[in-house]
Each structure stands twice: as structure tokens, then as C-alpha cells.
Homo-oligomer: A and B are copies of this chain.
Amino acid sequence: MADPIDFYFDFSSPYGYLAAQRIDDLGARHGRQVVWRPFLLGVVFKTTGSEALLGVPMKGAYSAHDLQRSARRIGVPLIMPATFPFMSVAASRAFYALCDEDPQGAKKLAKALFHTAFGKGGDIGSAAAVIAVAESVGLDGEALGRALQDPAIKERLKAEVQAAIDAGVFGSPFFIVEGEPFWGHDRLAHLEEWLKTGGW
């Protein structure tokens, strides 16, 4: 089996949401599994001294426009949540609470969370909101509620964020395959060409 594609994203990243609609199909076209790896962009921004794109003068207005244009281009609905940016800690912990024992359930939850946040402009910022989304796709909300309080899960997310930083990840979405890094939804074309050609 060929190496998987590591797909790093923050649940509060709208370009991450767009990439999430496409990355599994892209991987499948080239016989690659995709490992979803949510992390916390805010922690990384402390390292890079960056800040959320949409909050930057001039860039923010352009990005809001570019996001909608990029979404329309790939035929994906994009409705920004009323509260933005929002905390993605609960969503990320919920993912890691599931992903070892039920990787398909974790991915299903991640897709539902993204859909709620950016497909419908809803709220996924709190533990209660994340649990409600989990239950809406048939997952065990009560068990998830307990897991979100579990110190081991909190530590797991910290370790995953550190692993992302150690891998050189500084933005969302970010892809790494066989050591080759690709940053941004707009690098999916390069990533696909890389997989198709073996690199250049």
C-alpha cells in the first residue's frame, strides 16, 4: 500500500472545510488513504506570529470574497458561522476520542462538524454543540461527552498539535505525502499532479 496522505486542518478553517470536501476522492483516485489530522491553528500561530486571515486588513475582505468564489467553483455550499472564528478544541478532542477505535466514525463526525459549521453556518464551538452533531449522525453522545472530559484525550490533542508543528505544519489545510508538504486548498492541484507524476 502506498503511503497515505496526511491531511492537517483546523475545524474553524473555511479553506480546510473546502479541502475536506475533496481530499478523500483525490486520495482514492491515486490509491492513497487519507489520514485526517485536526489540530489547533491558534497554537501554531503563536509560533509563526501569524493571525487568522479573515481578521487582517484588506486580506480579510479579499479572503471572504475568494472563499465564496472558491466554494462556488467546486460546487460546495459555504455559509460562514455567525460566530467566527470559533473554538475548535471540543471538535478536535471529539475526533481524537473516536479515531483509534472507530476511524470511520471519527471521519463521519469530522465531515458532519464541517458541514454544520460551514455548510449551514451553525455552531460547533462548544462541547454541547459537538455532542449534538455527533448524535445527529448516530454516534454515542453520552460516551463522547465523557471522553471530552478525559485528561488522556486532552493530552492526546496536545500531542497531535505538537506533532503537526514538528511536521512543519503552519496553516490549514496542509497536506504531507511522502515528506512532500502542500499548504492550502489551492495546492490540491499540485498535490494531485505530484501523485500522478511521482513529483518533478
Contacts and interface: CB of A to CB of B under 8 A. Distances in A.
Given A56-B49, A56-B50, A57-B49, A62 B190 contact: no
Q: What 3 pairs between A and B have smallest CB-CB spacing? A: A58-B170, A186-B186, A48-B57
A120 interface: no
A4 interface: no
Contacts of A187: 66, 186
A61 B183 CA distance: 12
10 contacts: A49-B56, A58-B170, A59-B170, A62-B168, A65-B181, A66-B183, A66-B187, A184-B186, A186-B187, A189-B189
Interface string A44-86: 1001111000001111011001100110110000000000000
Contact of A61 (B50, B165, B168): B168
Contacts of A181: 62, 65
A115 B104 CA distance: 51
A50 B65 CA distance: 19
Contacts of A48: 56-59
Contact of A57 (B47, B58, B186, B190): B47
Contact of A200 (B66, B73, B183): B73
A155 B179 CA distance: 48
Contacts of A69: 190, 200
A47 B29 CA distance: 43
A186 to B, nearest CB: 5
A199 to B, nearest CB: 9
Interface string A32-52: 000000000000100111100
A48 B54 CA distance: 12
Contact of A72 (B57, B70, B200): B200
